[in-house]
Structure 1
Amino acid sequence: MMSDKMIQIPFPKLVTWMLEEYKKTKTIFGVSEAKFFKKNNSDIQLFGETMETPVGPAAGPHTQLAQNIIASYLSGSRFFELKSVQIMDELEIAKPCILAEDECYNTEWSTELPIMGAFDEYVKAWFALHILQKELFGQSERRFMFNMSVGYDLKGIQSPKVDRFIEGLKDASKTAIFKECQASLLESIDKFKNVDKAYIEQISPNICTSITLSTMHGCPPVEIEAIIKYLISEKKIHTFVKMNPTLLGYEYVRNTFDKMGYNYIQLREESFTHDLQFADGVEMLKRLKVFAKERQKDFGVKLSNTLPVKIGKSELPGEEMYMSGRSLYPLTINLAYKLASEFNGDLKISYSGGADAFNIDRIYEIGIQPITVATTLLKPGGYMRFKQMADILDPLMDNKESAKLDMEKLKALAESAFADANHRKEKQDLISRKTELKLPVLDCFMAPCTVGCPIEQDVPEYLRLVGEKRYEEAFDVIVSKNPFPFITGTICTHNCMTKCTRLDYDESVHIRGQKLVAAEKGYEAYMQKLLTIKPESSGKVAVIGAGPSGLAAAYFLAKGGMEVTVFDKREKAGGTVEFIIPDFRISREAISKDIKLIEKMGVKFEFGIDPDFSIADYKAKGFKYVYVAIGAGKTNTLSIQGDTDRVMGAIPFLEAFNADKDAINLGRNVAVVGGGNSAMDAARAALRVKGVENVYIVYRRTKDYMPADHEELMFAEEDGVVFKELLAPVSLSQGILKCQKMELGQPDASGRRRPVTVEGVFEELPVDTVLSAIGELIDYDVLKRNGIEAGEKGEIIVNPETLETKVDNVYIGGDALVGPWTVVGAAKHGTMAAKAILEKEKLEFKQEYVNDISFAGDKQLIEIADKKAVMKPVADNEMESGRCLECNKVCNICAEVCPNRANLMIPVNVKGFANVNQILHVDGMCNVCGNCGTFCPYSSEPYKVKLTLFWTEKDFMDSPNVGFYFLGEASEGEFMLRWDDKISKVKFDESGNTNESVDEKIAAFIWTVYKDYEYLYKVLN
């Protein structure tokens, strides 16, 4: 079991690290110089102190260690709410302790360091920031401020060690760490260009003039008031008091979560009833305002604390966790309005609760400041997100403290919070962005969009080409793996977009739309140059079914040099896409262009074939291989009583609609039973049938649980479809659909809450026709007649790698194999079968680009770096490529999201490495919070897997990680290595060769660290 104890970096080593890293890479603790914030406009005042910006990290993981505070400062933070301390300072916190996948949860609430260990970190950071502002920005006057945070009861705050902490931050001049830092800087004065002896000696020991009181949930009002009076009168310090979201009451919070999509969050009613009540809180604040004014100290509220919620799915260890982030925003901003209204705007508010680049300017313009953040920094981009927030605030700054809040603006912001898309939980937000791949020790950068795509489209490559208006090349990249650029550019279920890293910023890159841009603008030029491929093999292939799976197989088989004929029962190719999907979703011209691409490969077609096919007949005609792609040809029967002649399958209806919608008679009222994409298509199509006035979607769960794509649900709503949730059809009689009322019970195996009957409660709907969209079925009869076997549970027996059945040289895929699936899923099967057949024929399976596509290397990397940590929602489809983070070239997410900077990006300039950077994990800086594991696109956790640098022998021996530590002074290049579950002593010679047999890449990586990054390992000596 690895240690979760952080090792504090001695101040001289911290300074050396900053200077050496900056000299070598123009970064400091991973923050690149391009993301350093440089002030342009005036400053702002708070408690008589000057700040360049009123934004900074909240008391939490980002102010626990000196390096965290340094990273915050460089990227734009100027107000630092130091992590809370309390009398119990040797806490054993179960790990991992942070889960920030979307809204954030945590189970740690104060510093993990001993109180005076935390004190040392804050003093070291104080000196480091003074050095940085002078050395980097030429500033002599301090323009940042520290705010200490303490808790949780009066007795603890009055204890000698907490009192020593408070007094030390008020005046650190007599403390050992202050003297050590000052002496260390004076000894190393020659390392600086702009820092001199006089500047170091004038650094003030008065670190904090203000404090934020953090009280535990359930702390009695009398206790809170007594603590604040003590801090103001006895400690003589400006004070903020954290107020809890529980002030809003259980019903308000529950209703807010339910209507904003967070209905899965489990609250404890006692968390609200046992906590400070609103009326009591207001009266307390009124008394404290008077008390503080009489003593000439400033007093205000910090809004808001985190919200306690139940741990219901073992998200983190324990029974209760604390919620923050975007879900807290509507609560906190409305609590701000509710409290400020009681004081007519005359209330000083420090804000934290879902603030980010989307709302920080509006919060500040109300007169609220400072504004602190935590959750947004835990996401990709990390500390560098401060740069955008600081840049947004910069032109708004003036040198005045707001006398009163702008209540009109606050009211408007509070009211708009519930509809703000940035803070609502939508269906697509519930999809995990993880892949199933295991994280490798080296060369881990990959594009999760590509991995998430069933046919592994090279998404970042064609997005960049579209952005550079190289449309023909983009089209080339797409069709190397996908014969349906128009179809998938229009109606693909875009699995890629559910894995996009930008979802952790704002919203996915609109990948599908960019594919369509490439198709529309690159098709003609590509087709003009494309030559028909002549067969290279005598083995012929019959593809039965001209839907997506059959067409994909034919495309790649012909491309690989085989003679292919596609047979279909209908009069043209396209299958479900052509005959079932309505033309308001995709034009027939778009489908036709994809078919022409496939024909250009040399694929032949025969139509009007008997659907009751015989594989033996095809083989008798000389076809060596047969690919069965007949789709799922049977409609699932809806069990309903009454007028069953008025019940029609959604698929047959859609086919009739596409053939001639004017020939259909559905009556005035239509109910569609089901919640998938076919149900949405059927409902929208029904609205376009003459005579239809109302269309209902009837579903036994709520809309949140419908399997249809989010956008298809939106389109149906926009068209006027009425959603009837929690209803199960029972009977249709005389134009009335009787439905059983349902309610949601406990989750089933799929994770969806099970619909449970509400006995005796029914709802009746006026309905003339019911369209059943509850799924299609595999036609087992026709398969069985051809010797294709199914298992006990109905699964078709195939080789999972090749899709070959037990009938020699007969393959099956798409809906015929797995039931109703997606276009791109069906294409995956066609691709797999084609590859297997080509390998049998010893022919090349071709997925390479026709063109030799290249990008400007260094320029590309600079452009990617510029896009990091910048919130940028979709604005213009033409510019979408500019939002792609190109994770295949530069990922570094685990380094960006680590609060403690324990994951480092190390360039290893040796041949054989696929990635620009390699990730080094530094054990001594890691507290096992788990955040890197949350955002790594792999299924593994970087802090457990990546090559690890240890600072001590004990930590090396206690950890199972692949890793190393240098022996002694490391001057002779000797180190201990754990690799392949073996521990060995290894030594480098002057050229980087080793005396032991060590993996060549691992040796090169460690040699790079040894030779070029001495400051990383010479930390404790």
Structure 2
Amino acid sequence: MGKATGFMEYQRLQEASEAPQSRKKHYKEFVMHLDDAQAKTQAARCMDCGIPFCNNGCPVNNIIPDWNDLVYNGKLREALDTLHSTNNFPEFTGRICPAPCEAACTLGIIKDAVGIKSIEHYIIDKGWENGWVTPQPAAVSTGKKVAVVGSGPAGLAAAQQLARAGHAVTVFEKNDRAGGLLRYGIPDFKLDKNLIDQRVKQMEGEGVVFRTGVLVGKDFPAGITNWAKETVSPETLQKEFDAVIIAGGAETPRDLPVPGRELKGVHFAMEFLPQQNKVNAGDKVKDQISAAGKHVVVIGGGDTGSDCVGTSNRHGAKAVTQFELLPQPPEQENKPLVWPYWPTKLRTSSSHEEGCERDWSVATKRLEGSKGKVEKLIACRVEWKDGRMQEVPDSEFEVKADLVLLAMGFVSPVQPVLDAFGVDRDARGNARATTDGAGCYKTNADKVFAAGDMRRGQSLVVWAIREGRQCAREVDAFLMGESVLPR
């Protein structure tokens, strides 16, 4: 490594960020990347551990020790090339990935892990600042055409890889802008949408065609973002293209089947969050769901729930409460037990820091209100025994609730898309396709492949990128008989 003793000499440094009370006043990103000196020091902490567990902890297998060494030695252009060799969109993962690579860091056994995510963030931002990220069009066209349904991270990764292999790629997106759940599922203060726009521009320079506002298949259920202005049938895609990749997100939300669910003021998180993103983009949203001046209750303790908390605070909510069904995790993980795997521990997001009352082991029993509008939530304490949930006797309580946001995860991809293509599904409602052996990522439908959430269910952006890249290789081999794309 660049400095063999760096891990003993330097401490981990968190990226600087704007103060919570200040950043609540806007929707812009508030985390700054490291400066040159800080990045060099943090890269020096990467130890010569022999077996880089971080590499396997990362779903796209980033070559982390290599680009840490290059950053330490000031070779930023080479570091960017190394980073891009495994990850098409490090500006996304460098901001919103939970960093399983850091959980697998060998140094993390005895000290704070190497700040891998912050270094990745630094490398890619320096790449854009210096004009190093440019289109890489294929030298030769294959004459083959590929349709990609969905412009989230899986679809974008697959499209870029296939375009660079020389295929003519068209991306179909039901919403009015490209990006999928990157665009309309993640708040702007976590991921500036200009980052998506500049990647789309790069991909258009590589020959990728984006068709937004186009729904493939049938109408979608309520609660799922869909601003399509035209429809295209699966039969048309299968006829006009040599291969089709369905790469939509897991957008079917888990519902809350309790009395009072029908009251006004009870919404899925993905009804609430996309509206604010559209407003931030300059659009006008009729009857926008607002948390201003309201007592907001967010049900669900994951990332989507956290995003609802941050957005509600920026609306000017009077109070925000977040409930989680599971018990409160420990503040520190048991490293000897779980390393190098992802640990269960208490995680406090930037949105929680901005103001939120959190509570665990809470189940919602019913919602109550008057004149058809929710006014309060009746809940109870629960305990878990032998993997089963039980209500704690005499633990019922109520909280004021003018707005209830359901952020309890997503159960499957949008089923009408799979229905339209006639794709077989697994027990969880995902497209059935393997990731090893012959016919990887291929579905039972003619010429149709599946990747990302559409195949594996709700997951991380970095997993979607991995699946998009791997699926692209299989499609390339399907079209050409062999492939030089990396897997």
Q: With structure 2 as the length reference, what TM-score do the two structures score?
A: 0.76
Letter matched to residue 830 of structure 1 = G
Instruction: Tell me which residue corresponds to 1:688.
Output: 314
Instruction: Determine the structure 2 residue equivalent to 1:669.
Output: 295
- Residue in structure 2 matched with residue 542 of structure 1 by the alignment: 147
Deviation, structure 1 residue 645: 2.5
1:845 equivalent to 2:450? Answer no
Among 147, 164, 168, the residue aligned to 1:559: 164
Instruction: Indicate the residue corresponding to 1:757 in structure 2.
Output: 391
- The equivalent of 2:322 in structure 1 is 697
Aligned: 1:796 with 2:431? yes
Conserved 8 A contact 1:485-1:515: yes
Distance 1:709 1:470, change over 3 A: farther
The corresponding residue for 1:742 is 382
1:511 and 1:617 mapped to 2: Cα distance? 44
For 1:579, the equivalent position in structure 2 comes to 184
Q: Secondary structure at the match of 2:382?
A: strand
Query: Partner residue of 2:359?
Result: 724
Q: Secondary structure at the match of 1:688?
A: helix
1:478 matched to 2:104? The reply is no
How many residue pairs are counted as aligned between the two chains? 403
Q: Give 3-state SS (helix, strand or coil) of 2:349's partner.
A: helix
Among 779, 783, 786, which residue is 2:414 paired with? 779
Aligned residue identity for 2:396: F
Q: For residue 646 of structure 1, report the CA deviation from its aligned partner.
A: 2.0
> Counterparts of 1:795 and 1:487 in 2: how far apart (Å)?
24
Which amino acid in the other structure matches residue 160 of structure 2?
Y
Matches within 5 A, 1:347-426: none
Distance change >3 Å, CA 831–CA 605, structure 1 → 2: same
Rg: which structure is higher? 1
Task: Sort the Cα spacing of 1:711 and 1:542 in 2 relative to 1 into closer, same or farther, 3 A.
Answer: farther
Q: Sort the Cα spacing of 1:710 and 1:570 in 2 relative to 1 into closer, same or farther, 3 A.
A: farther
* Matched-pair contact (CA < 8 Å) for 2:310–2:352: no
704-713 vs 463-472, which deviates more?
704-713
2:34 alignment partner in structure 1: none
Q: How far is 1:792 from its partner?
A: 4.6
Match of 1:818 in 2: 456
Q: 2:445 aligns with which of 784, 788, 807?
A: 807
Distance 1:597 1:512 in 2: 23
1:838: how far off? 1.5
Retained in 2: the 8 A contact 1:743–1:755? yes
Partner of residue 206 from structure 2, selected from 578, 598, 601: 601
Which sits farther off after the overlay, 657-666 or 459-468? 657-666
| Aligned partner letter, 1:829 | E
Q: CA deviation digits over 1:90-148, x for unaligned, max 9?
A: xxxxxxxxxxxxxxxxxxxxxxxxxxxxxxxxxxxxxxxxxxxxxxxxxxxxxxxxxxx
Q: Is the 8 A contact 2:96 2:191 kept in 1?
A: yes
Q: Which amino acid aligns with 1:655?
A: P
Change (3 A) 1:472 1:711: farther
Deviation at 1:781, TM superposition (A): 3.1
Is 2:248 the counterpart of 1:630? yes
1:639 corresponds to 2:257: yes
Q: Is the 8 A contact 1:472 1:525 kept in 2?
A: no
RMSD (Å), alpha carbons: 2.8
Q: Supply the distance in 2 between the matched residues of 1:638 and 1:598 (Cα, whole angstroms).
A: 40
Relative to 1, partners in 2 of residues 1:718 and 1:843: Cα closer, same or farther, differing over 3 Å? same
Label 1:537 to 1:709 Cα distance change in 2 as closer, same or farther (>3 A): farther
1:664 maps to a residue whose letter is: I
CA distance in 2, matches of 1:445, 1:495: 19
Instruction: Return the alpha-carbon distance in structure 2 between the equivalents of residues 530 and 573 of structure 1.
Output: 18
* Structure-2 residue corresponding to 1:768: 402
The separation in 2 between residues aligned to 1:511 and 1:725, in whole angstroms, is 31
Match for residue 830 of structure 1 among 465, 468, 476:
468
Change in 2 beyond 3 A, CA 1:603/1:710: farther
Structure 1 residues 524 and 741: CA distance shift in structure 2, 3 A: closer
C-alpha distance after superposition, 1:764-787 (max 9, x if no partner):
111111100111232223312311
Whether the aligned pair in 1 keeps the contact of 2:310 and 2:351 (CA below 8 Å) is yes
CA distance in 2, matches of 1:601, 1:587: 23
Question: In structure 1, what is the equivalent of residue 227 of structure 2?
Answer: none
Q: Which residue number corresponds to residue 98 of structure 2?
A: 493
Equivalent pair of 2:329/2:346 in contact (CA under 8 Å): no
Inter-CA distance 709–464: structure 2 relative to 1 (3 Å threshold): farther
Q: State the identity as a percent.
A: 28
- Cα pair 1:674 1:774 within 8 Å, conserved: yes
| Match runs of 1:891-930 below 5 Å | none
2:314 is paired with a residue whose SS is: coil
Q: Distance in 2 between matches of 1:518 and 1:472?
A: 8
Give distance in 2, aligned partners of 1:636 and 1:708. Answer: 24
Code of the aligned partner of 2:353: E
> What amino acid maps onto 1:503 in structure 2?
G
Q: Distance in 1 between matches of 2:356 and 2:86?
A: 37
Q: Which residue of structure 2 lines up, in the alignment, with residue 532 of structure 1?
A: 137
Task: Tell me the amino acid that sits aligned with residue 826 of structure 1.
Answer: A
Residue 468 of structure 1 is matched in structure 2 by 73
Q: Confirm or deny: 8 A CA contact 2:309 2:352 kept in the other structure.
A: no
| 1:505 and 2:110 aligned | yes
* 8 Å contact kept, 1:497–1:508: yes
The structure carrying a bigger helix percent of its residues is: 1
Q: CA deviation at 1:671?
A: 0.6
| Aligned AA (2:441) | L
In structure 1, list runs of 5 or more residues that go unmatched.
1-33, 36-380, 389-443, 749-753, 849-1021
Question: Is residue 325 of structure 2 the alignment partner of residue 679 of structure 1?
Answer: no
Q: Which of structure 1's runs of 4+ aligned residues deviate more than 4 A?
A: 528-531, 705-712
Please say if residues 527 and 597 of structure 1, whose CA atoms lie closer than 8 Å, have aligned partners that are also in contact. Answer: no
1:130-209 aligned at under 5 Å gives the runs none
> What are the residue-to-residue correspondences of 1:74-473 with 2, within 5 Å?
445-473=50-78
| Deviation, structure 1 residue 717 | 2.8
Q: Which residue number in structure 2 is paired with residue 293 of structure 1?
A: none
Tell me, yes or no, if the aligned pair for 2:254 and 2:409 is still in contact at 8 Å.
yes
Tell me the CA shift for residue 525 of structure 1: 4.4
Residue 486 of structure 1: CA displacement?
0.9
Q: How high is the TM-score relative to the length of structure 1?
A: 0.37
Looking at both structures, which has the greater relative contact order when contacts are Cα pairs under 8 Å and sequence separation is at least 6?
A: 2
| Structure 1 counterpart of 2:368 | 733
Offset from partner CA, 1:808-840 (integer Å, 9 cap, x none)? 321011112222111111111111110111222
SS of corresponding position for 2:392: strand
Provide the C-alpha distance between the structure 1 equivalents of 2:356 and 2:459, rounded to a whole number of angstroms.
24
Q: Which runs of 5 or more residues in structure 2 are unaligned?
A: 11-48, 218-231, 332-341, 370-374
- What letter is aligned with 1:818? R
SS for the counterpart of 1:454 is coil
| Offset of residue 615 of structure 1 | 2.3
Separation of aligned partners in 2, 1:594 and 1:528: 9
Q: Contact 2:245 / 2:448 at 8 angstroms: preserved in 1?
A: yes
